Amino acid sequence: MGQRKSDTGGATKVDGKTMLGTVRTRVAQVVWLVFCLCALLLAVGALLVALDANEGNPLVELVVRGAGAVDLGVFSRDNGIFDFRGGNAEVKNALVNWGIGAVAYLVVGRILDRLVRP
């Protein structure tokens, strides 16, 4: 009827290969989490700029400065891949450059996750 569990006292044998696989899985999870947080920071920063949030607010300032720190210069809202001029240029630059940056972080994070994971 039911299956009996072996009486090992709950202990399982862990070999080196299983332990290494567990460590690699945890490292891959941490890498993915860090890249997701960077992408989230860029996306929320772009949204706050688009909504014309008060950058004098400490929380808004923290998010926008954090997004500026992880944009790697390539995705900068000031002189990134795309550099819009004219009306609403700041909003367009933030949405496009930080949006592309967020997608790039997700793609690179997923690739690194797959490379590290066993």
Tens-digit pLDDT profile for residues 40-92: 999 999 999 999 999 899 999 999 999 999 988 888 887 778 888 888 888 88
For 88, left (φ over 0), alpha (ψ -120 to 50), or beta?
Answer: left
Q: What is the pLDDT of residue 74?
A: 83
Look up residue 7 and give its amino acid. D
Burial group, residue 37, by CB count within 10 angstroms (0-12, 13-18, 19+): middle
What contacts 95, CB < 8 A, 6 or more positions away?
46, 49, 50
45 touches 102 (CB < 8 A): no
Sign of CA dihedral 40, 44, 46, 47: positive
Q: Average pLDDT over the chain, rounded to whole?
A: 86
Q: Taking the model in full, what pTM does it have?
A: 0.79
Q: How far is CA 43 from CA 26, 33, 58, 77, in A?
A: 26, 15, 18, 12
Look up residue 20 and give its amino acid. L
Q: What is the mean pLDDT of residues 97-106?
A: 94
